[in-house]
Structure 1
């Protein structure tokens, strides 16, 4: 997820039948049968058996470009854009397991898969072994995915204070029960996304990785920052390199600050099995093309506008073309524009490549549209949305949810 999310992403899914793009397997709201005691949970695991993961639960995506599960911005229309530009692996936005078990339609919509997503997973967030395991079992029989990921990287207070996200890194017993329990009920590989740790100077990942391997995780992605750091410092790729051996032979993907093919090449030198791209894809979704073709793309403002136009078409297709669908498409477009404005065109840079932590100076583009796209003002993002979706309502107000696009 884009870790600066301000709230849980319950509203960003489509309004269609929950599932993975296959209506015949759609899921009506289901009343959960909770495992209410520790004894019930352990009996459940014993009934499932504690055998080693089978060969079928391995995930071979080494060397592939993995689009991060981005809260709010990583919706299905945005993933379609990234697939067009060369993303190999995609993952749905973080879904809260208790909301799924309660049958919330908006949460189930986060799991919807587009046919172009040939390697697709979903990401679950939760704090308790019984609900996470029961949710995994439910997903296993209702949707078609290639893997399920556990979110152990979310830093926001709403999740952390309930014991989920990053908090699991300090709750080893619960963490182990969640991984082992989910692994037993899934027929697809189980993956985990973690951070370096919770506190800035207390790295935990190198200690957890061998345990995750033994608990049955098929692959782990390590974001090179702690919860405390958020985006105040660059991702620690030296530490990620140290963690590669700790994880072996389990594949380790690295995540953090990839905004050019040079960044990607440097990251691969650490020995990781592959890289996950998050904010870099929000700033320039054509980054996947740049990495695969090993070049900088001086993309024109008109080409960028065409990308936004395609996004709006995908959005209206996904969320509906009625008034509600138009405004939902507009809001998610504006969330994305709050990141896109940070891109500096290659032809205007004094030196290559652009760094993800550098604040772009105010500049005049090579045409009006390029200048407008560089604006840091929400009023100008709204103006771009009006070019694509028509005028906003008179009382319209927009405040970005994400703090990850801030410069502080």
Structure 2
């Protein structure tokens, strides 16, 4: 997600997020903003300056920092502003415009089924629906029955469903609701090999060594992207540590009493089948830092880290 105002102000760190990697066959940008004029200007700027296959409007972000400024999920209660944003961005873009929404703002008041037909009429090419409200954050199970109802309402515009996909069985069950496709968020952060599992219809008991190789590739991409000087190393470390705060939630398939693992199940403390597997399972920030030092060298003096999702994504 890129913040619209930061892009318009020319912040290099924000623009770096929009750099397309040579391995990406499909590249999209998600924009967050609260005002039609800035969102439209930003969309026009992106259209002229980067190679992008689609642009997505973030109408699903639940965090207070975004919501209190009128962006993210707050736009679900600001229909006039949302219409101006979608129509304006769609007018200036050459690429398709998509929209990500939640079921609504409050737990017992669904809004998506009312907004989806409007988004279709305003020019959205696709809508992705996360099956929880802002109020629920990630504390409740995603409502796939409601997602299925909204898929029928959206037709002929495609609707993708999002929420709690963490295995190939979850993906298959989600497609049975009638959605055109699925979006995977936290599942890919916790278990990035989930796409292989879905493609091959299997549970992969991936080894700690194989997982470390994924982290090596990630740090390599980070250094390629940010540079290998001190600033580049520490920027890469920051993103790696954020990712490790999700990766630690994975329980190796070979250790599970039953399959599959559910995404909202927080693993209890356990010993892995080797030292590295145990280290990767740790919920301790200090152990995440140890893993980062294996890949990027020692951290600077007085180094501290607080993961974003623990700071502002949970009630």
Cα deviations by residue, 1:275-319 (Å, 9 ceiling, x for unpaired): 100000011100000000000000001111111111111111111
Q: Map of 1:258-269 to 2, 5 A cutoff? A: 258-269=165-176
Q: Map of 1:380-395 to 2, 5 A cutoff? A: 380-395=287-302
Alignment correspondent of 1:353:
260
Q: Map of 1:305-344 to 2, 5 A cutoff? A: 305-344=212-251
Mapped contact 2:62–2:313 kept (Cα < 8 A): no
Q: CA deviation at 1:364?
A: 0.8
| Correspondence for 1:117 among 10, 21, 24 | 24
Q: CA deviation at 1:404?
A: 8.9
Mapped contact 1:231–1:404 kept (Cα < 8 A): no
Q: Map of 1:42-57 to 2, 5 A cutoff? A: none
Alignment correspondent of 2:71:
164
Cα distance in 2 for residues equivalent to 1:333 and 1:345: 20
Cα distance in 1 for residues equivalent to 2:100 and 2:313: 23
Alignment correspondent of 1:27:
none
Q: CA deviation at 1:403?
A: 3.0
Say yes or no: does 1:232 pair with 2:139.
yes
What TM-score, normalized to structure 2? 0.97
Alignment correspondent of 1:190:
97
Cα distance in 2 for residues equivalent to 1:137 and 1:384: 41
Alignment correspondent of 2:204:
297
Greater shift after overlay, 383-392 or 347-356?
Answer: 383-392
Cα deviations by residue, 1:239-295 (Å, 9 ceiling, x for unpaired): 101101110000000000111000000100011111100000011100000000000
Mapped contact 2:34–2:71 kept (Cα < 8 A): yes
Partner SS state of residue 228, structure 2: coil
Q: Map of 1:182-261 to 2, 5 A cutoff? A: 182-261=89-168
Mapped contact 2:129–2:162 kept (Cα < 8 A): yes
Mapped contact 1:220–1:252 kept (Cα < 8 A): yes
Cα distance in 2 for residues equivalent to 1:162 and 1:117: 33
Alignment correspondent of 1:363:
270
Q: CA deviation at 1:394?
A: 2.3
Cα distance in 1 for residues equivalent to 2:314 and 2:61: 19
> Number of residue pairs matched?
315
Alignment correspondent of 1:397:
304
Q: Which runs of 5+ in 1 are unaligned?
A: 1-93
Mapped contact 1:234–1:257 kept (Cα < 8 A): yes
Cα distance in 1 for residues equivalent to 2:232 and 2:8: 26
Q: CA deviation at 1:365?
A: 0.6
Higher helix share: 2
Q: 1:405 to 1:178 in 2, by over 3 A?
A: closer
- The structure, 1 or 2, with the larger RCO (C-alpha pairs under 8 Å, 6+ apart) is 1
Alignment correspondent of 2:50:
143
Q: Which runs of 5+ in 2 are unaligned?
A: none
What TM-score, normalized to structure 1? 0.75
